[in-house]
Amino acid sequence: MIRINLLPHREEKRKARRQQFYVATAMVSVLAGLIVFLGYSIISGYISTQDERNEFLKREIAVLDKQLEEIKRLKEQTASLLARKQIIESLQRDRAEAVHLLNEMAKQVPEGVYLSSLKQEGRRVTLKGYTQSNARVSTLMRNIESSPWLENPQLLEIKAVTVDKRRASEFSLVATITRAAVEADKK
């Protein structure tokens, strides 16, 4: 029988396989490194792009914040000017109110009723005076109720007093000025 030694041939195949394995391992390592580098580059690019977007947004937000502050300041100025305008309009509206009130009181006070004081606080008018008859006070209240400038008369008190050695009634009543009539007359 013939014996053939195949050991060197197998050894060469093993060496070739080992070498192929090392080459394949090196190629896979290089390929893996290339993939990692490529992935890192792509992700880094995305991050830098997003950072640029974020910086752009921060700049734009800063510009908008300045504009919002300017708008807020303008709104405050507008509100202040509107408040001033309303005060001026109120003063203009109320300017002739005292004249109308005195004119109306001259028309509405019946004969025999004497006013000792007339006081206005806002829209509220307080009348104090004397009369010989309580019926004249009720006439005054009816006249005030029918007046276009005054409304809602309320008698606060009426009491008997002596004026110049005569018996009289001292009264105090409150009425409200009607501003709707004033505004309607202007239109």
17 pLDDT tier (thresholds 50, 70, 90): very high
pLDDT band at 35 (very low <50, low <70, confident <90, very high): very high
pTM, 2 dp: 0.49
Q: What is the pLDDT of residues 108-122, one digit of tens each?
A: 788 888 888 888 887
Asked whether 129 and 171 are in contact (CB, 8 A), the reply is: yes
- Are the CB atoms for 175 and 145 separated by under 8 Å? no
Is 116:159 a contact under the CB 8 Å cutoff?
no
Across 19-23, 25-29, 50-54, 102-106, least confident range: 102-106
Q: What is the pLDDT of residue 167?
A: 82
For residue 181, the model assigns a pLDDT of 43
pLDDT band at 21 (very low <50, low <70, confident <90, very high): very high
- DSSP assignment of 69-133 equals HHHHHHHHHHHHHHHHHHHHHHHHHHHTHHHHHHHHHHHHSPTTEEEEEEEEETTEEEEEEEES-
What is the mean predicted confidence (pLDDT) over 76-92?
91
What type of residue sits at position 27? M
- Measured between alpha carbons, how far is 154 from 140 in angstroms, rounded to an integer? 11
Distance between alpha carbon 112 and the CA centroid of its chain, in Å?
54
pLDDT on residue 182: 45
Q: Which residues of 8-33 are buried (b: 16+ CB within 10 A; e: fewer)?
A: eeeeeeeeeeeeeeeeeeeeeeeeee
User: Quick one: average pLDDT of 82-106?
Assistant: 82
Neighbouring-strand partners of residue 39: none
Whole-number pLDDT of residue 5? 64
Q: What is the pLDDT of residues 124-135, one digit of tens each?
A: 888 888 887 777
- For residue 166 the two structure tokens come to 């005569």
| pLDDT score of 119 | 87
Query: Which pair of tokens denotes residue 160?
Result: 């008997």
